[in-house]
Structure 1
Amino acid sequence: MKTLFHNCPSIIHDPPHVLEDIIHGHPVPPKHFRLDIDHDGVAWITFDTPKSSANVWNEETLREFNHLLEVIEHDTRVKALVLRSAKERIFVAGADIKAIRSMQPVRVNELIWLGQAVFDRLARLNKPKVAAIHGACMGGGFEVTLACDWRIASDHESTKIGLPETQLGILPAWGGSTRLPRIIGVRKALDLITSGKLLNASAAKRAGLISHVVAAERLEVLARRLVQGRRPEPIYRFENLFSAIIGRMAKRKVLEKTRGLYPSILKAVEVVTHAVHGEIEKGLLLERNAVAELIENRDSARLIDLFFKREEASKRAVTGGTALPLTDATVIGAGVMGAGIAHTLASRGVRVLMTDVSNDSLARGLERIHGLVSDATRRRLVTQVQGRDTLDRISTTHVKVPLSRHHLIIEAATENMELKKKIFGDLAARVSDDTILATNTSALSIAELAHSVPHPERVIGLHFFNPVHRMPLVEIITLPETSADVLATAVSFVQKIGKTPVVVKDSPGFLVNRILVPYLMEAVRLNQSGVPVKDIDDAMLEFGMPMGPMRLLDEIGLDVAAHVARTLATAFPDRFPNSDALDKMVSAGQLGKKSGQGFYRYEKGKEIAPARHADLPKHESIQTRLALLISQEAMRCLKEGIARNADDIDLAMVLGTGYPPFRGGPITFARDTGIIDY
C-alpha cells in the first residue's frame, strides 16, 4: 500500500482489505476526468462526469482520481497541479449520497477509508496545488480542495461552498473535520460544520475558506499565476489552543438549539475540537470512528431519505403537460405576503409588476422589500449588485393596466372569498385566454374561486408560506379540470424560484394546514384544561419541533388561526369541533405577537409566559397526544388522495412546519413507531 498510504501510519494500520484491490487493481482510462499537462509543467485535472450536469465522488471517481495523482507523482514534467470542473454550475456536489444510501455500513466505512486516503495523497503531493472552484462545491467537493494549497472561486451566483453533512446525520469525514479548523480556526469551522450552511464566494472568502474571488473567465489565469509563486506557509490559529473551551461553548449552544436531538451535530463538535491537534492521521481516525457510529443511527437514514425526497420534488417535471417558460409575473397585493412573493420572484431573476389599490399601499410594500434586500446584503447572503438587480426587476402601479402579455398573475389579497372573486373577475377582463391566474390563499376553496371566472382550467392555488424568503415549500393546489400545461408551468416556475413544490388537491386547509390545525387546536384545549403554555411548548420542543404550538399560534396570529380553524370545522364538523377559545381572545384584541398579547405577553422583544402550576402532566404524554394527532391527520390525507403519496406529505410537513426532519415526517414516524396502523 506504499503508493497510497506513504507516511500515513494511522491509515496504514489495518485498512480494509478491499482497498488493496481498489488501489492496486489494473488502472483503467479515466472516464470522469481529463488530464492535460501544458508547456509550463502545470497539470490540469478537469472533473467532467459524462452525460451528467454534476460531478460526485464515489468508488469509481476516487479510483480514477487516485490513478491521475499517481501519474502526476511520477511525471517529472509536472511542476504544479490545478483541479477544476467542466460543469456549468457544479464544481463537485460531494459524495454520491444515492450510492451511500444503498450501502451496508461496512461498505460505507470502506468508502470513507478510500476518500481519506486519496485526498491525503493529494495533500502530500509535493507540488503547488490550486482548486479553481466554479459552481456548487459541497461536502466531499470542498474537502478535496482543503488538500490544496490555494482555493480560489468564481463570483458566479451558482458558486456555493460548504460542508452540509450534519444535515444528513453524518459529518465531514474525508478530512473536512480535521483540516478546516486548522485553516480557519475552530470557532469558524464549528459554525460552518454544525450549521451545514452554504456560503457564496464573497462570504466564503471573508470566512477564510478561499483566498481569491474572480470572474469565472479569470480563474485559469489566476490559478496559473498562483502555482508559479511560493506556496503559502500554514498559519497556526492561536485560538485553537483553546479548542476545548470553544468546544464546550459550542456544545452548550447546540444543546440549547437542538436539545440533543441531532447526534451528528454534537459528534461534529467533539471531533473538530479534538482533530485540530496533533497529526492529521489522528483526526482522520476520529472522523472514521464518528461516521461508523452515526450511520448505525436510524436518524441518519431518515435525513438522507428526506434529502432525496426534496431533490426529487425540486426537479420532477409534470408528465403530460408542457411547461411555459415564465420570465415575468404580476403580484396583486403589496401586503406582507404580496411583498414577500414579489421579492422572492425578483431575487430569482423574474421581472415583477406589483399592484395594489393605492400608492401608499405600494410604498409600504416596497419598504418591506427594501428591508428584505438590505438584510440579505448586510448578512452577506447577496452582493450589493444582486440586491440592486432584485429591486430593479420590480415595478409598481395602483391603476388598472392591460395584462394581456402577462402569463402568470399571483393574487395575494386578504383571506376573503368575496374580495378574491371581485379581483379575479376584474383580472379576467384584462388578461389573455392563456394567462394563469393563481391565488395565494391558505384555506379558501380554489374551486369556488375558479368557477367565478370564464376559464377555471387556468386557475390554480400557489400557497406560499410566511416568511416567503425563508420558507422553502409552495403548495400547488389543483382542480380536476386544471390544465396539464398549467400544472406543468406552475411546477416548473416554483422550481425556478428555488422553492420546493408539492402538488395537492383542492380541499379545506389543503395539506399542511389541514394536518396542522388539529394539533394546534388540541394544544389550545390542553391549555384550556389547565396545562400551562410553557409546558405544552417545551414538550413539543423536546419532540423536535422548531417552535411550540402556543408560540406558533402567536406568530401566525390568532385571528388568522381562528379563521382557518373555522374553515376546517365547517368542512369536517365531526373531527374539527368549533372552539370559541381563539375567538374570545381575538375579540379581546389578543392577536398574538403582532398585538403584544396572545398566549404569551410580548414586551420589549421578550416573550413572557403565564405562571406555571404544580401537578402537571409529563412532557412525554403531551408529546404522544399531539404527535399522534399530526400522524393521524396525515394518514387521512394520504387515504383521501390529497397529496400524490406519503413521501410528499412527509416532505410538506417538514418544509412547511419544521416537523422534526430526523423523524422523517409524520407518516414515517407513525410507521417506525407503530403508534397507528400504517
Structure 2
Amino acid sequence: MKTLLLNRPAVIHDPPHVLEDIIHGHPVTPKHFRLEVDHDGIAWITFDSPKSSANVWNEETLREFNHVLENIEHDTRAKALVLRSAKERIFIAGADIKAIRSLPHARVNDLIWLGQAVFDRLARLKIPKVAAIHGACMGGGFEVTLCCDWRIASDHDSTKIGLPETQLGILPAWGGSTRLSRLVGLRKALDLITTGKLLNAGAAKKAGLVSHVVPMERMEVLARRLVRGKRPASRFHFENFLAPVIGRMARRKVLQKTRGLYPSVTKAVEVVCHAVRGEIENGLLLERNAVDELLRSPDAARLIDLFFKREEAGKRPVSDGTVLPILDATVIGAGVMGSGIAHTLASRGVRVLMTDVSNDSLARGLERIHGLVSDATRRRLVTQVQGRDTLDRISATHVKVPLCRHHLIIEAATENMELKKKIFADLAMRVPVDTILATNTSALSIAELARSVPHPERVIGLHFFNPVHRMPLVEIITLPETSADVLATAVSFVQKIGKTPVVVKDSPGFLVNRILVPYLMEAVRLHQNGVPVKDIDDAMLEFGMPMGPMRLLDEIGLDVAAHVARTLATAFPDRFPNSDALDKMVSAGHLGRKSGEGFYKYENGKEITPARHADLPKHESIQTKLALLISQEAMRCLKEGIARSADDIDLAMVLGTGYPPFRGGPVTFARDTGIIDY
C-alpha cells in the first residue's frame, strides 16, 4: 500500500486485507489498456475494453490501470503521460454500476478503497499529465481526470462531462468530492455535484472543468504541446475559506429543493464543504464513510435499479422485426407539441418536414423552434453550429407535397378524432404502404383511428410528453395487428432521438394518463370538499412529487385534463366518476396557467399563492390517500397487461410524471410498503 500512496501519512490508513492482496498480488497482463512510450518520452495510455462499446471502472480495470502506472513509474523514458480512450463516443463511463449493485457491501467498500488508491497514484506521478477527453466522461471517468494537470476535451456532441452520482443515491467517492472544489471553487463544485448535471465541452470549459476544447483530430497535437510547457499552478479560490458559510447556504438551498428526501444531496454538501480544506487524505476518508452510509439506504438501491431500467429501455429491442432506417420524417401540426417534436427530431439528426394548414401557424411553430434553439445555445447545451444544423434540418409548408421518401409521419394535430381521421385518410393516399403513420394523441383510441386507413398494421401511437425537449418518455401504443417491423422501427427510432420508449396497449388513457387521472381527480374532489389547493400541493411535494396535483392541472391545461378525464370516465364509469368541476372552470375561461387563472392565479407568468386555511386534514392523510390511488391504478394496469412489466410501469411514471425516483415507482412503492394486497 505504501508503494501506491508514496508515504502520504494518512491517505488510507488500515486498508482492508483484500485491498492489500489486490495491489500486491501477482502482476497482471492488461487487456483493457495499451501503453506506448513514444520517441518524445510521452506515455500514451489508451483505455479500450475489448468487446464493449464503453470503458468502465471495476476491480479488473482498476488493477490493470494500477499496473500500467507502476510500469510508467519505473520507465525512465516516460517524461509525460496522456490518458485517452479508443471508444467512438465514450471516454470513461464511470464505475461499473452493475458490479456495485451485485457485490456484497464489504466488497463495494474494497472497490472504493481501490479506486481512491489507484487514482491517488496517478495524482502523485511527478511527470506532466493530460487527460484527452472524447465522448462521455462521467463519474469515476471524470474523477480520474482530476488527478491530471490538464483536461482537454473534443468539441464532439458525444462529449459530456460531469459527476452524476447523487442521482444514484450516492456521491463521488474516488476523489471527486474532494478535488473538484480545488479546481473550480466551492460554489461551482457544489452545484455540479448536487445537481449531477452533465455538461457539453463548451459548458465544461466555461465552468473550468477543462482547459481547452478542440476538434478530436487536434487533441494529440494539443496534448504534445501542453506537456512540453509549464505545468499549471494550483488555483487559489478565496471562497473555499468561506466553506462553513457557503455550506450552510447550500444546505438550505438543497433542503428547500429536495425537502430532505434525497440524503445523497445533503450528504454531498457536507462532504464537499468539509473536504475543501486540509489534506486530500481527510477528504477521501469522508467520501468513503459517506458512501458506506448511503449504500445502506434502500433509496440508493431503488435509484440504482431505476438507472438500470432506463438503460435497458434505451437500448433493448422489443420485437424480432426488421428495423427500417428513418432519415426523414413529417410532423403534421405546428402547435406546441408539433413544433416540439420537430425540434427534437431535428436536433437528433433527422430531416423534418413540418406542415400545418396556414403560413401563420407555421410561422408561430418555427418561432417556437428558434426560441428553443436560442435558449439551448445560450445555456451552452448545444454549440452555435449544432443549433444552426438543427434549424437547417427543418423545412415547413402549408401545401400538400410528395411524402414518398418520408417513412415516418407523426400527426400532432388537435385532440379531435374526426380531424385526425381526416388527416390519416388523406395521408394514406399520399404515402407508400410501408410508411408508418403515428399519432401523438394523449387519450384517443388508436384502434378507431387505424380503422380509417388501409393497412392498419402500420398505425401506431407515439405519445410525447410536454415539453418535448425536456421530457424523456415516449409511450409507444400498439394494436394487436401492429406489425413486428413497425414496432421494432418505432422503438429504435425513439431510442435514436434520445428518448426512453415504453410499449403499451391501446387502452383509454394508455398508461401514464390512466394512472395519473384518478390521482388528479381525487385532488380536485378534496378541493371541492374544502381542502385548499396549497395544502394538497404541499402534501404531495413532501411525498416527493416535483409538482403538486393542482399546480400540475394548471400546467397541463384544465381543458386538456377535462378531456382525458371524460375519456376515462366513459371507459371506466365504476371507478372514474365524471366530475363537472373541471368543465365548469373551463366554461368560465379558467384553463390554468395559459389563461392566467386555474386553481391558482397568475400575473406576468408568476403564480399568486392562495391563502392557507386552518383545521384541515393533515398532509400525511392527503399523501396516503393520493399515493394509494396512484399505486392502485398502477397495479391494475399491470394485472391487465397494459404495459409489458412492472419495471416499465415504474419507469414510465418516473419519467412521465416525475413520480419520486427514490421510491422506485408506484409498483415498487406498493410492494415495499405493503399498502396494497395483491
TM-score class, shorter-chain normalisation, is over 0.9
Secondary structure of the corresponding residue to residue 470 of structure 1: coil
1:605-632 CA-to-partner distances (Å, cap 9, x unmatched) read: 3212333222111100000000000000
Find the counterpart in structure 2 of residue 96 from structure 1.
96
8 A contact 1:10–1:285 mirrored in 2: no
User: What do residues 404-432 of structure 1 show as CA deviations (whole Å, max 9, x unaligned)?
Assistant: 22100000000000000000001011000
* Structure 1 partner of 2:506: 506
Contact 1:33 1:47 in 2 (8 A): yes
Counterpart-to-counterpart distance in 2, 1:129 and 1:572:
65
Alignment partner of 1:329 is 2:329: yes
Q: 1:456-497: CA deviations, max 9, x gaps? A: 000000000000000000000000000000000000000000
Q: Which residue of 2 aligns with 1:190?
A: 190
Q: Which residues in structure 2 correspond to 1:489-568 (within 5 Å)? A: 489-568=489-568
Distance 1:9 1:577 in 2: 70
**Cα offset, 1:106, TM superposition:** 1.1
Q: Tell me if the contact between 1:533 and 1:609 (Cα under 8 Å) persists in the aligned partners.
A: no
1:265 corresponds to? 265
Tell me, yes or no, if the aligned pair for 2:12 and 2:113 is still in contact at 8 Å. Answer: no
Q: What is the alpha-carbon distance in structure 1 between the residues aligned to residue 228 and residue 512 of structure 2?
A: 57
CA–CA distance in structure 1, aligned partners of residues 9 and 107 of structure 2: 22
SS in 1 for 2:272: helix
Name the amino acid aligned to 2:397: T
Q: Conserved in 1, the CA contact under 8 Å of 2:130 and 2:149? A: yes
> Which deviates further from its counterpart, 144-153 or 225-234?
225-234
Map of 1:322-471 to 2, 5 A cutoff?
322-471=322-471
Distance 2:452 2:433 in 1: 15
Q: How does 1:114-129 map to 2 (within 5 A)?
A: 114-129=114-129
Structure 1: state its 5+ residue gaps.
Answer: none
Q: Percent identity?
A: 87
Local SS of the residue matching 2:546: coil
Deviates most, 143-152 or 245-254: 245-254
Q: Which moved more, 1:52-61 or 1:246-255?
A: 246-255
TM-score, normalization by structure 1 = 0.99
Residue of structure 2 equivalent to 1:81: 81
The answer to whether the 8 A contact 1:81-1:128 is kept is: yes
CA deviation map 1:380-401 (0-9, x unaligned): 1111111111000000110111
User: Aligned in 2, Cα 1:677/1:9: closer, same or farther, shift over 3 Å?
Assistant: farther
Does structure 1 residue 606 correspond to structure 2 residue 636?
no
In structure 2, give the amino acid aligned to 1:44: W
User: Residues 664 and 12 (structure 1 numbering): CA distance in 2 closer, same or farther, change over 3 Å?
Assistant: closer
Are 1:628 and 2:603 counterparts? no
AA aligned opposite 1:618: K
Whole-Å separation in 2 of the counterparts to 1:12 and 1:283? 11
Secondary structure of 2:314's counterpart equals helix
Q: Secondary structure at the match of 2:433?
A: coil
Letter paired with 1:544: G
Partner Cα distance (1:354, 1:414) in 2:
15
Which one-letter code corresponds to 1:641 in the other structure?
Answer: G
Distance apart, 1:402 and its partner CA: 1.7
Structure-2 residue corresponding to 1:577: 577
Cα deviation, 1:209-234, whole Å, max 9, x if unaligned, reads 00000110111111111111111111
The aligned residue for residue 49 of structure 2 is 49
**Residues 1:249 and 2:249 aligned together:** yes
Equivalents in 2 of 1:521, 1:593: separation in Å?
A: 18
1:237 match: 237
Q: Is the 8 A contact 2:56 2:93 kept in 1?
A: yes
Q: Deviations over 1:214-257 (max 9, x none)?
A: 11011111111111111111112111111111111111110111
1-structure distance, mates of 2:47, 2:166: 25
- How far the C-alpha of 1:7 sits from its partner, in A, is 2.2
User: Secondary structure at the residue paired with 1:460?
Assistant: strand
**Is the aligned partner of 1:615 residue 2:629?**
no
Counterpart in 2 of 1:162?
162
- Equivalent pairs counted in the alignment come to 678
- Provide, for residues 89-112 of structure 1, a one-character-per-residue CA deviation record: whole Å limited to 9, x for no partner: 000000000010011221111110
Q: Distance in 2 between matches of 1:612 and 1:307?
A: 38
**C-alpha displacement of 1:196:** 0.3
Q: Give every structure 1 segment of 4 or more consecutive aligned residues whose post-TM-superposition deviation is greater than 4 Å.
A: none
Q: For each residue in 1:631-651, what CA deviation from the matched residue of structure 2 results, as whole angstroms up to 9, or x when unmatched?
A: 000000000000000000000
Deviation for aligned residue 1:301:
0.3
Q: Is the 8 A contact 1:166 1:264 kept in 2?
A: yes
